[in-house]
């Protein structure tokens, strides 16, 4: 490492220790110690994409987290695939984040697993929109989506509902196990009405009406729990359904809006 850079990093770490539990270092990726047991895996396709991206960038765009062992060696707790890919890409030096304080084996494993667990999920519709913004083939490859994900995105078709920006509210009801079984029983007679996968977009007024109905049912039947009130609404609707609609025969579709 260049002596001037080494001095700069040393001075920077002196300041970093005053505010963070981490320091920075520059290391040869091939000299870093990798985990012997790593539950996180990467497909061959994704790894090759990662190697190609690192070659294109000329280095890593995110820092591996390493633990400085008592003998001075650096163990990669998070970023093993990035370090391996950097080695394969021929990168001679990478910037790393280092934990200098002593860690027990349990603490090391806990940090390793906690980083592996931090894995958000993509909204498929938003991912499709972002993916469609990329026109250049080389940048699509750089984005790193695997072939299976791309196939799934190709299945998504956007349908315009209106030019106005829709406001919506999402209702989440949590049911206890015994409530779930009861709900399944109540829903049996409605199976015929919803025998196919369909999606319905309702206006804000429908949400307000459902919310008011939940409040009315809670008050009338002295119910506190919202899922229980929702089940009561289904039960009352079931009782009010004509006998022929309660059969398992799928009714003929009409043009009447649902």
pLDDT category, 88, cuts 50, 70, 90?
Answer: very high
- Please give the pLDDT value at position 239: 81
pLDDT digit string (tens) for 162-208? 544 555 556 666 777 767 776 676 666 555 545 555 455 555 566 67
pLDDT category, 26, cuts 50, 70, 90?
Answer: very high
Say if residue 226's pLDDT is above 90: no
The percentage of the chain sitting over the pLDDT mark of 70, rounded to a whole number, equals 75
Say if residue 51's pLDDT is above 90: yes
DSSP string, 119-176: -----HHHHHHHHHH---HHHHHHHT--HHHHHHHHT-------SSPPP---------
What mean pLDDT comes out for the span 44-60? 93
- Please give the pLDDT value at position 165: 54
pLDDT category, 118, cuts 50, 70, 90?
Answer: confident
Say if residue 252's pLDDT is above 50: no
Question: How many of the other CB atoms lie within 10 Å of CB of 186?
Answer: 16
pLDDT digit string (tens) for 35-50? 998 888 888 988 999 9
- Please give the pLDDT value at position 196: 52
Say if residue 30's pLDDT is above 90: yes
- Point out the least confidently predicted range of 23-32, 42-51, 238-247: 238-247
Q: How remote is the C-alpha of 93 from its chain's centroid? A: 31
Say if residue 94's pLDDT is above 90: yes
For the chain, give every domain's residue range.
3-117, 124-154, 177-246
Say if residue 127's pLDDT is above 90: no
Helix (H, G, I), strand (E, B) or coil at 124: helix
- Tokens 């047991």 -> residue: 37
Say if residue 122's pLDDT is above 80: no
CB 32 within 8 A of CB 78: no
Distant-in-sequence, close-in-space partners of 247: CB < 8 Å, separation ≥ 6: 192
- Please give the pLDDT value at position 137: 85
Quote the CA–CA distance of 17 and 87 in Å, as a whole number.
Answer: 29
What mean pLDDT comes out for the span 29-40? 91
What mean pLDDT comes out for the span 131-135? 86
CATH code 3.30.390.30 for 3-117: no
């Amino acid at each position: 490492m260049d002596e001037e850079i080494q001095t700069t990093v040393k001075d920077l770490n002196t300041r970093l220790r005053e505010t963070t539990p981490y320091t920075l270092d520059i290391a040869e990726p091939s000299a870093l110690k990798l985990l012997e047991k790593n539950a996180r895996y990467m497909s061959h396709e994704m790894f090759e994409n990662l190697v190609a991206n690192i070659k294109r960038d000329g280095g890593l765009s995110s820092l591996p987290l390493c633990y400085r062992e008592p003998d001075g060696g650096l163990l990669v707790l998070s970023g093993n695939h990035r370090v391996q890919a950097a080695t394969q890409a021929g990168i001679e030096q990478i910037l790393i984040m280092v934990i200098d304080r002593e860690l027990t084996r349990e603490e090391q494993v806990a940090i390793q697993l906690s980083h592996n667990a931090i894995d958000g999920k993509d909204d498929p519709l938003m991912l499709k929109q972002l993916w469609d913004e990329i026109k250049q083939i080389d940048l699509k490859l750089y984005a790193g989506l695997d072939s299976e994900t791309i196939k799934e995105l190709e299945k998504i078709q956007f349908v315009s509902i209106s030019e106005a920006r829709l406001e919506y509210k999402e209702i989440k009801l949590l049911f206890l196990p015994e409530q779930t079984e009861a709900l399944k029983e109540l829903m049996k007679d409605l199976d015929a009405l919803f025998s196919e996968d369909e999606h319905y977009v309702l206006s804000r007024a429908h949400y307000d009406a459902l919310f008011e109905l939940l409040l009315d049912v809670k008050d009338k039947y002295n119910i506190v729990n919202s899922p229980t009130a929702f089940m009561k609404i289904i039960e009352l609707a079931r009782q009010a359904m004509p006998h022929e609609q309660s059969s398992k025969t799928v009714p003929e579709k009409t043009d009447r809006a649902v």
